[in-house]
Amino acid sequence: MFLRQPATDKTDEELIGLYRSTHDLAWLSALYLRYTSLVYGVCLKYLRDREEAKDAVMQVHEKLIKSLLEHEVASFRSWVYVSARNHCLMQLRSKRTHPTEEITPFLVESDPSQHPDDEPALETRLNSLEKCLETLEMHQQQCVRLFYLREKSYQEIATETGFESRAVKSYIQNGKRNLKICMDQHGQ
């Protein structure tokens, strides 16, 4: 694949138009190349692993091959940013093995010898977590439960609760911090 014309003199909109009309991947690659650093930064921020972030950059590019033909895009930069973020969030959600895993990593010892009969210890930690959840301010409790236990996005929580997105993020962050403090106070 090589470009018939230099892509540097084309706008994002022109490259999208050329790709949509010709289905020539060279146009898409020229466009995506402009935003590879942005996509990598987003992926690294969410995945926190360089190799996974590199893989995600390639996976986002592969998804664009089809989705750019199906969707009207007014601002490619914003659209590719959101696409990368959503891809990473879906990857993170698919990795979860337990719904409370993200908010309770400090509760579970990685060394099984620390808890020979792990089931009762886990039960105790989960009971403590539930009690600490109940001590949170109502807005924090509601947002933490929706985000971590029901796996809703900030936007979904904002829509469901009527809170602003910034408030949702703040409630979740403060709730998570308060949960950790409560669990530490109870020796968990």
* Lookup result for tokens 């009971």: 127
Among the candidates 63, 95, 127, a domain finishes at: 95
Answer with the residue of higher pLDDT: 5 or 125: 125
Task: Flag whether 105 is in a domain.
Answer: no
How far apart (Å, rounded) are the C-alpha atoms in residues 184 and 186? Answer: 5
Counting beta carbons within 10 angstroms of the beta carbon of residue 108, is it exposed (0 to 12), middle (13 to 18) or buried (19 or more)?
middle
Reported confidence tier of residue 123, pLDDT bands at 50, 70, 90: low
- Per residue in 25-47, pLDDT (tens digit) is 999 999 999 999 999 999 999 89
Reported confidence tier of residue 167, pLDDT bands at 50, 70, 90: very high
- Predicted local distance difference test score (pLDDT) of residue 39: 95
For residue 126, which of 113, 108, 147 has the smallest C-alpha distance? 108
Query: In this structure, are residues 15 and 31 in contact, taking their beta carbons and an 8 Å threshold?
Result: yes
CATH value at residue 46: 1.10.1740.10
Pair 88, 154 in one domain: no
CATH value at residue 169: 1.10.10.10
For residue 173, the enclosing domain spans 112-185
Pair 89, 118 in one domain: no
Task: Indicate left, alpha or beta for 187 from its phi (over 0: left) and psi (-120 to 50: alpha).
Answer: left
Pair 83, 36 in one domain: yes
- Predicted local distance difference test score (pLDDT) of residue 124: 74
- Per residue in 56-93, pLDDT (tens digit) is 999 999 999 999 998 888 899 999 999 999 999 988 88
Could you tell me the pTM of the whole model? 0.50
* Total count of domains within the chain: 2
- Predicted local distance difference test score (pLDDT) of residue 121: 64
Q: Can you spell out the DSSP letters for 38-82?
A: HHHHHHHHHH--HHHHHHHHHHHHHHHHHHHHHS--S-HHHHHHH
Read off the pLDDT of each residue in 144-170 and give the average, rounded to a whole number: 88
How far apart (Å, rounded) are the C-alpha atoms in residues 69 and 65? Answer: 7
Those residues whose C-beta lies under 8 Å from the C-beta of residue 163, and which sit 6 or more positions away, are: 139, 143, 157, 171
pLDDT winner (highest mean) among 62-66, 104-108, 116-120, 141-145: 62-66
Answer with the residue of higher pLDDT: 108 or 155: 155
- Predicted local distance difference test score (pLDDT) of residue 49: 92
Angle value at C-alpha 63, between 92 and 26, nearest 5 degrees: 140
